[in-house]
Structure 1
Amino acid sequence: MRRILRIAVIVAAGFWTSASVADDRELCNGVGGPDVVRIEACTRLVQSGTFRGAELAKIYMRRGFLHERRPRQEGAAFADYTEAIKADPNNANAFNARGNIFSGIQNYDRAIADFNEAIRIAPRNYLIWRNRGLAHRASGDPDKAIADFSESIRLNSKPADSFNWRGEAFVDKRDYRRAIADFNEAILRDPDYEHALNNRAKAHFEIKDYRRALEDYETAFRIAPNLTEARDGAERAKAGVAQRERVALVIGNGAYRHVPRLANTVNDARIMRDTLTKLGFHVIYGEELDKRAMADHIRQFGVLAEFAQVSVAYFAGHGSTFADIPYVVPVDSKYEKLSSIPSELIQVESMVGALRRTKGVRLVILDACRDNERELELRREQLTTPAVGSGSGGGAVASEAASRGVGRLRSADGLIVVYSTQHLTTAEDGVDTTNSPFTRALAKHIVTPGLDIKDALFRTAREVIEETRGTQRPEIAISLFDPYVLAK
């Protein structure tokens, strides 16, 4: 009886051990449960003494992978991959995994040695070729990197990463054309691959294709808003676009909230935008802008204009002059009192300030003001209210008047400044037409092939005077004496 009981206990213990090993094996190899619990299961399997050779190597590999996923556990992972290699010297995955650990700590010689062994064992594993390519590139050998990436692509041409990384190796060699071809292939396989887009943008930038660089940088940043390299690259590309081409700021305001609306200003802005775009300008465009939006558009224009060969700033809307300072009017300006004018309006000087620092052709066009009766009311209010401006912060206001329309800039300073009408007069908004007489004539003449910009402006002025029978007379201040043709 005692012997029967002893045999039963031994058999039961064997069943229990077999069951526990099966559970640990399922947990170690599975995908569920916390990593710590799964690591413990793998450890029990190693300590059980049940496994040898390739089976034991797989357990070490699994535990190493779980260690590697945890913070600052690369050392434990490295130890497991090494044990896996000892248990199964023909385990290519173990050499590959340990090679990645070496690469991570920038020990590229030992990484490449491990990848060599992995490739010897499994020469058709495209991932190992790709990993060795990364190690070669990081160690400063782009030629060997390109060879490895090419073999990886030959074995499996589907992954976008392989093309992206080979493209980066071509960039290292300054072979930007072949780099762009690889980035194209990466993006073809994954259109939202922000790093490939960013890399292609950098390659376009290096060959001075700034417009394509800008498009890729902006797309990459839209996909990955945390990719600050793409955001900063876009700013540099914008400057490059402006430097090689032409840049313009076009604003049309008509839907004023607190002063009389203007019917055709947005139409005028649109026709100028389209005309300048056809002439090869990179146009920063806005319509119905409040003060904050106007300031932002002007800031963007300033960034580009500083590098541009040709810069044009165009505004259609209400204009005003206060204390001999010309202003343009955002749509949210209230004009409730004279003292608020400087804080509510935008100085024209802010539009042309960047132009004064450039050496190219600079043109400022102000199609303003369309009649603003509110300004006249404020002028009358000032004359009948001597105390306006007295008290805190407004002492100078009492003695200054707001003029009707945009005044003259203090100095052309190398600019061509065009006013759609004379100072202290109004410009016509257009009767039974979609555009003002001034902008309609301007858009027609500046696209005349071979015509110097100054002659185009003179023709515009003559046409406006004839159409309005002399009631509107544009003014042109020219400080450019060399000929320049907008339409070649």
Structure 2
Amino acid sequence: MSQTNPHPKFSFSGLPIVSQEENRLQQQRAQVMTLANQGRYGAAIAELEQILQENPESASDYNNRGLMQFRLQHYQAAEQDYNRAIALDPRLDSAYNNRANCYAAQGQLAEAIADYQVALDFNPGNLRAWVNQGVTYRDLGLYDLAIENFDLVLVLGTRLRGRVYGERGRTYHLRGDWNLALADYQRSLDGLSNSFSARRYRRTVEAWRSELLNPSKIA
């Protein structure tokens, strides 16, 4: 009686053999990332809808479509996609982080804090959840807690430094620590990349710095 080989097949290059279908899905998902990085969120959603028609049990694809909906400020549609992703994979920390962003955008800050915490319970290395929770603490006026989050992210890794310095700078700014704020704004501008999202965030940091340096110009 033949038995199933428990070991995956490998090509001569030492990499697992990928079927044509899997290769096509990888290409489609790569295209989604390209479209998102270009700010073409509607086109990315259309691509994800094709993927989900063939893979309706894919939590990560629902999560990614929710993110595109969020970028378009379609918060209810985004929340529905995140709920579906969590139903399919209850331990998907990125979906909790993203749903928390939806809550925060709609002013549901307590719900956002709770979802960020779930994301961090499942994955303490989720830097985005630490940052986003810090921003929400700041929105609640809990500046010390916000700064603790940002400081922790700077210890854990360098990937989000440009964003973290900007958010910590804004927190110092609102708390009245203006010299610390200016220093962090400059660190943020020096550390941001040239991606679409980074260019957009750069404009935000520049506006915050201008507000601090030229308060009389703020309407």
| TM-score between both structures, scaled by the size of structure 1 | 0.34
Note if contact 1:218-1:231 (Cα within 8 Å) is conserved in structure 2. no
Take 1:174 and 1:77, find their aligned partners in 2: how far apart are those partners? 36
Distance apart, 1:152 and its partner CA = 1.0
Distance apart, 1:124 and its partner CA = 1.0
- Aligned mate of 2:31, from 58, 66, 69: 66
Tell me: CA distance 1:228–1:75, structure 2 relative to 1, closer, same or farther (3 Å).
closer
**3-state secondary structure, aligned to 2:82:** helix
State the match for 1:127 in structure 2.
Answer: 94
**3-state secondary structure, aligned to 1:216:** helix
State the match for 1:178 in structure 2.
Answer: 145
Which runs of structure 2 are paired with 1:302-341 in the superposition (5 Å)? none
Take 2:116 and 2:134, find their aligned partners in 1: how far apart are those partners? 9
Tell me: CA distance 1:231–1:115, structure 2 relative to 1, closer, same or farther (3 Å).
closer
Counterpart residue identity of residue 165, structure 2: L
Note if contact 1:159-1:189 (Cα within 8 Å) is conserved in structure 2. no
Counterpart residue identity of residue 97, structure 1: N
Counterpart residue identity of residue 20, structure 2: R
Higher CA-based Rg: 1
Which runs of structure 2 are paired with 1:137-148 in the superposition (5 Å)? 137-148=104-115
Take 1:98 and 1:228, find their aligned partners in 2: how far apart are those partners? 26
Higher RCO (CA 8 Å, separation ≥ 6 residues): 2
Distance apart, 1:167 and its partner CA = 0.9
Distance apart, 1:115 and its partner CA = 0.6
Distance apart, 1:239 and its partner CA = 8.4
**3-state secondary structure, aligned to 1:140:** coil
**3-state secondary structure, aligned to 2:91:** coil
Q: What is the CA deviation profile of residues 247-306 of structure 1, one whole-angstrom value per residue up to 9, with x for unaligned ones? A: xxxxxxxxxxxxxxxxxxxxxxxxxxxxxxxxxxxxxxxxxxxxxxxxxxxxxxxxxxxx
Note if contact 1:126-1:153 (Cα within 8 Å) is conserved in structure 2. yes
Would you say 1:117 and 2:112 are equivalent positions? no
Distance apart, 1:75 and its partner CA = 4.2
State the match for 1:214 in structure 2.
Answer: 182
Note if contact 2:133-2:149 (Cα within 8 Å) is conserved in structure 1. yes
Identical residues among aligned pairs (%) = 22
Distance apart, 1:231 and its partner CA = 5.3
Distance apart, 1:86 and its partner CA = 3.7
Note if contact 1:149-1:165 (Cα within 8 Å) is conserved in structure 2. yes
Which runs of structure 2 are paired with 1:153-232 in the superposition (5 Å)? 153-190=120-157, 193-224=161-192, 227=202, 229-230=204-205
Take 2:40 and 2:208, find their aligned partners in 1: how far apart are those partners? 36
**3-state secondary structure, aligned to 2:149:** helix
Distance apart, 1:88 and its partner CA = 3.8
Take 1:213 and 1:112, find their aligned partners in 2: how far apart are those partners? 33
The CA RMSD over aligned residues, in Å, is 3.2
Tell me: CA distance 1:116–1:230, structure 2 relative to 1, closer, same or farther (3 Å).
closer
Note if contact 2:65-2:78 (Cα within 8 Å) is conserved in structure 1. yes
Distance apart, 1:187 and its partner CA = 1.8
Note if contact 2:96-2:115 (Cα within 8 Å) is conserved in structure 1. yes
Take 2:153 and 2:89, find their aligned partners in 1: how far apart are those partners? 25
Which structure has more strand as a fraction of its residues? 1
Tell me: CA distance 1:237–1:155, structure 2 relative to 1, closer, same or farther (3 Å).
same
**3-state secondary structure, aligned to 1:123:** coil
Note if contact 2:66-2:81 (Cα within 8 Å) is conserved in structure 1. yes
5+ residue gaps, structure 1: 1-21, 30-41, 43-58, 241-488
Take 2:66 and 2:177, find their aligned partners in 1: how far apart are those partners? 39
Q: What is the CA deviation profile of residues 136-179 of structure 1, one whole-angstrom value per residue up to 9, with x for unaligned ones? A: 22222222221111111111112322211111111222222211
Take 2:32 and 2:136, find their aligned partners in 1: how far apart are those partners? 31
Counterpart residue identity of residue 220, structure 1: S
Distance apart, 1:111 and its partner CA = 0.8
Distance apart, 1:188 and its partner CA = 1.8
Tell me: CA distance 1:80–1:176, structure 2 relative to 1, closer, same or farther (3 Å).
same
**3-state secondary structure, aligned to 2:90:** coil
**3-state secondary structure, aligned to 1:166:** helix
Counterpart residue identity of residue 85, structure 1: L
5+ residue gaps, structure 2: 1-16, 194-198
